[in-house]
């Protein structure tokens, strides 16, 4: 097991955080903990890259359910698709205070 990323954000505008893994993990888990959801919505998608510069989006289950309130959510058993991944945040209104962790097995 390796913790690949722990990222705390105060999301007001769209952003992306990139992390790399030294190996392809068979299974990845992402934990989202939203502690403040003032207004609007937050969308978080996992994007993948083989080279760290060209990013690919996949469909479910590589995205969290749209967030509009505080709470926790697991995005579980996502297959490791590439050596690089990033979390792409899209915010409507906001702000949102949250922490997200990525764990690989």
Specify the pLDDT at position 72.
95
pLDDT along the chain (105 residues), means of 10: 65 65 75 90 87 80 89 83 82 84 82
Specify the pLDDT at position 97.
86
Query: Cα(31)–Cα(40) distance, rounded to whole angstroms?
Result: 21
Q: Which candidate, 44, 12, 41, 46, places its Cα nearest to that of 28?
A: 46
Specify the pLDDT at position 48.
84
Burial class (CB in 10 A: 0-12, 13-18, 19+), 59: exposed
Specify the pLDDT at position 12.
66
Specify the pLDDT at position 34.
92
Specify the pLDDT at position 96.
85
List, in sequence order, every residue forming a beta bridge with 97; answer none if it has no partner: 10, 36
């Amino acid at each position: 097991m390796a913790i690949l990323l722990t990222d705390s954000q105060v999301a007001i505008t769209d952003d992306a955080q990139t992390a790399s893994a030294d190996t392809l993990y068979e299974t990845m888990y992402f934990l989202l903990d939203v502690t403040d959801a003032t207004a609007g919505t937050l969308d978080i998608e996992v994007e993948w890259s083989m080279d760290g510069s060209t990013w690919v989006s996949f469909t479910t289950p590589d995205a969290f359910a749209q967030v509009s309130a505080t709470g926790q959510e697991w995005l579980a058993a996502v297959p490791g698709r590439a050596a690089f991944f990033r979390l792409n945040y899209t915010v409507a209104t906001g702000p949102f205070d949250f922490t997200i962790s990525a764990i690989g097995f």
